[in-house]
């Protein structure tokens, strides 16, 4: 037994002596060297590939007088990229390299490569050369990791811009009005009032409403008032009586002028609102003083007293203003149906000059062709100096990726508001100037610019920040889903992936791959494969390496 142990010990010592006796033996024993990489699959972040490589040299491996040169090389389709080599030395070498002792040790190094196209299908290897005296021996190449994950490059990075809305009204509310006047303290409707120009105009308006297919009479109001002179209670009763006689008069006025709509009768009492309006429109010398009295006092009796105290003014009021407030108004409430989208599109082809600014803005918004949008917005700028149209013209150019044209159009916009700041940020983003883009987006400080800032975050590897900014985003879910994937929150990523598009199907395939769901990977890649570029990408994407 003791003899066997002695023989075994001798064999081990002999093996150790052989192992470190020459550079050739280091090459022969290279399989005993272990290598680990973090991450195990290389990833591109903000255009860079960074990893930590740990190499463990076993005891009695490293020749004490040898120098080892280790070069990390990333091999990819179309070429390879090599770092400056790491240099190591045995414990009896007097150079200044990192020492690997004969008892063995683990050395850890940072590797870095700048991404170039083709590296999405690559692998990292270590190439070693042992030098001892005049001998140079190449070690077997050690494969370290596969690479490189470029999922962040799926970000939609053009940036979002919003069109400015128009104020076009599909239905315009209009009124047509006539009135009858009463004498002081009377509720009797005089025959002359039923033949007044005001009533004739009202009747003509009713006829025109009925004849116009775009107009609809929805209701009519009869509103009776008393002038604000005399007691409040007395005037309230007088107003009530006038509402009753006005309703009867309305029947006579509309006879032969059909009114097929509800009629609402109202008694207001003292017409202080009408009084203030007439005073403001008048040439009275002290009208500002009268209006100030109305603003200072809300009690009708106090108002009346203070105004009567201005005796000279009151005489003029009693003669020129108060008689106009002893009245009943007939108000036809009308809805005018504006041009439909189809009619607007026809008009921009046949008679664009009849359209006002809001109609032009709406016509441009519903035009399907960018050339038509551009033409209509230019017309609105030319005819109305429309700042909104000038801005929207820049948006059209951005949607066509005409960055220079968009920049020139934005320079002519007067309102440097949040929309403008965001659009300038998109211009900067597309020009590759992220610093200026961030300044503009921060200045805009709205939801759209917030989502554009998330794009910058993704491009720079700040995935959690991007996910936070996109949490409340609406519309296209692509970047939101991507941000959650990159941030490692696959549940939220899956929940947000609700949009029907090839690009979102691709992201759903990535989610499924990371969750180990082969069937979902296949199904979603089939859907994404309708896009040729995505199909080509999937064939090389390291995300799906184990499913090919």
Q: Which residues, other chains included, contact 11 with Cβ-Cβ below 8 Å and sequence gap of 6+?
A: none
Query: 232-248: per-residue pLDDT in tens?
Result: 899 999 999 999 999 99
The predicted structure's pLDDT at residue 258:
82
Say what the pTM is. 0.78
Query: 50-102: per-residue pLDDT in tens?
Result: 999 999 999 999 999 999 999 999 999 889 999 999 999 999 999 999 999 99
Rounded CA-CA distance 392/414 in Å is: 13
Instruction: Decide if pLDDT at 4 tops 50.
Output: no
Average pLDDT over residues 407-425: 98
The predicted structure's pLDDT at residue 10:
33
Query: 200-241: per-residue pLDDT in tens?
Result: 999 999 999 999 999 999 999 999 999 988 788 999 999 999
Instruction: Decide if pLDDT at 273 tops 60.
Output: yes
Instruction: Decide if pLDDT at 162 tops 60.
Output: yes
The angle at the Cα of 544, spanning 462 to 46, to the nearest 5 degrees, equals 25
Q: Which residues, other chains included, contact 124 with Cβ-Cβ below 8 Å and sequence gap of 6+?
A: 37, 42, 51, 53, 72, 73, 74, 75, 111, 143, 144, 145, 146, 147
Rounded CA-CA distance 290/311 in Å is: 12
Query: Which residue from 511, 524, 522, 515 is spatially nearest to 547, judged by alpha carbons?
Result: 522
């Amino acid at each position: 037994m003791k003899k066997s142990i002695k023989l075994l010990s001798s064999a081990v010592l002999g093996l150790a002596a052989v192992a470190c006796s020459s550079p050739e033996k280091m090459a022969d024993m290279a399989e005993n060297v272990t290598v680990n990489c973090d991450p195990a699959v290389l990833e591109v972040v903000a255009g860079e590939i960074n990893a930590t490589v740990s190499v463990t040299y076993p005891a009695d491996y490293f020749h004490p007088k040898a120098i080892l040169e280790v070069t990390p090389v990333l091999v990819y389709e179309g070429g390879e990229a090599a770092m400056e080599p790491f240099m190591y030395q045995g414990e009896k070498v007097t150079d200044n390299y990192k020492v690997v002792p004969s008892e063995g040790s683990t050395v850890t190094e940072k590797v870095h490569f700048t991404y170039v196209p083709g590296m999405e299908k690559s692998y990292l290897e270590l190439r070693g050369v042992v030098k001892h005296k005049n001998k140079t021996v190449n070690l077997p190449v050690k494969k370290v990791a596969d690479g490189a994950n470029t999922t962040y490059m799926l970000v939609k990075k053009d940036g979002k811009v919003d069109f400015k809305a128009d104020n076009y009204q599909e239905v315009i509310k209009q009124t047509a009005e006539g009135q009858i006047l009463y004498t002081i303290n009377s509720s009797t409707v005089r025959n002359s009032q039923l033949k007044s120009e005001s009533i004739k105009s009202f009747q003509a308006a009713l006829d025109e409403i009925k004849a116009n297919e775009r107009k609809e009479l929805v209701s009519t109001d009869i509103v009776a008032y008393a002038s604000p002179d005399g007691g409040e209670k007395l005037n309230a009763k007088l107003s009530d009586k006038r509402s009753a006689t006005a309703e009867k008069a309305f029947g006579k006025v509309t006879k032969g002028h059909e009114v097929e709509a509800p009629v609402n009768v109202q008694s207001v009492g003292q017409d202080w609102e009408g009084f203030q309006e007439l005073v403001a429109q008048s040439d009275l010398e002290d009208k500002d003083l009268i209006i100030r009295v109305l603003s200072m006092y809300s009690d009708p009796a106090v108002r009346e007293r203070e105004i009567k105290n201005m005796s000279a003014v009151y005489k003029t009021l009693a003669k020129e203003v108060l008689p106009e407030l002893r009245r009943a108004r007939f108000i036809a409430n009308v809805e005018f149906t504006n041009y439909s989208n189809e009619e607007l599109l026809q008009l921009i082809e046949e008679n664009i000059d009849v359209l006002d600014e809001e109609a032009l803005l709406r016509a441009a918004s519903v035009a399907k062709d960018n050339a038509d949008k551009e033409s209509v917005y230019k017309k609105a700028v030319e005819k109305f100096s429309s700042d909104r149209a000038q801005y929207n013209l820049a948006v059209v150019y951005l949607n066509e990726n005409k960055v220079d044209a968009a920049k020139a159009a934005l320079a002519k916009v007067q309102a440097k508001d949040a929309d403008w700041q965001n659009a300038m940020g998109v211009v900067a983003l597309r020009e590759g100037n992220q610093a200026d883009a961030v300044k503009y987006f921060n200045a805009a400080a709205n939801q759209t610019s917030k989502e554009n800032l998330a794009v910058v975050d993704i491009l720079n590897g700040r995935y959690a920040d991007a996910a936070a900014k996109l949490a409340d985003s609406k519309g296209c879910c692509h970047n939101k889903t991507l941000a959650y994937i990159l941030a490692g929150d696959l549940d939220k990523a899956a929940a947000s992936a609700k949009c029907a598009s090839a690009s979102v199907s691709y992201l759903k395939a990535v989610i499924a791959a990371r969750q180990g769901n082969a069937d979902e990977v296949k199904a979603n890649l089939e859907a994404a494969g309708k896009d040729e570029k995505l199909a080509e990408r999937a064939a090389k994407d390291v995300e799906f390496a184990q499913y090919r």
